[in-house]
Amino acid sequence: MNLLVRGSGRTIWTAIRVMMILTLVLGVVYPLTITAIGQFVFPSQANGSIVSATDGRPVGSALIGQPFTGNAGNPLREYFQPRPSAAGDGYDAAASSGSNLGPENPDLIAAITQRRRQVAQFNDVPPDQVPVDALTASGSGLDPHISASYALLQAERVATARNLPAQQVRALIDAHTDRRLLGYIGEPRVNVLELNLALDELQP
């Protein structure tokens, strides 16, 4: 009986020591090591890819979309607008999600129809020219990019609002367009926040 008790006690003590060692290694040493490597090798990415204005003020993340609206929640004509968001009340990083509505869902069809009308009216273009990413939210609801075609669709409106030559605004879009990876993967896309910050640096 004493041997059985001693054997059980030894087993429990061994299990406790293994748990303490693994907790120290995997719960303390490993996270601190990875954090240190991230801070020294990839400091921007490790801290959320924060984008700052020319005065050093942080204005958002290059990885998360955000609206460009006025006090009343209306989109500002002098800024490029992102694609729609279904994350929470919109662009909520704590509630990342898509709409989860099927392609034949009446609510989705109604939302797309309304967005097409609003985007066309806001940019003074025919509804059939509105690209698909202006009508549908991304799977995360936080996509910071729009297609190059959607950016170009907005160029005339932004140029007029800022009293800039339209060609200058189009050239800025081209300079901020990320090309296809390896020349064939994906589609040309534009980071809306970075493009709008570049706009603010231009003289009106």
pLDDT in tens, 47-101: 777 777 777 787 778 788 888 888 777 888 999 999 998 887 788 888 888 888 8
C-alpha span between 6 and 9 (Å, rounded)? 5
Strands 177-178, 58-61: pairing is unpaired
How confident is the prediction for the chain on average, in pLDDT?
86
C-alpha span between 82 and 15 (Å, rounded)? 54
Q: Are 134 and 174 in contact (CB under 8 A)?
A: no
Q: Where are the domains of the chain?
A: 2-44, 48-200
pLDDT in tens, 101-160: 888 899 989 999 999 999 999 999 999 999 999 999 888 888 899 999 999 999 999 999
Q: Are 193 and 202 in contact (CB under 8 A)?
A: no
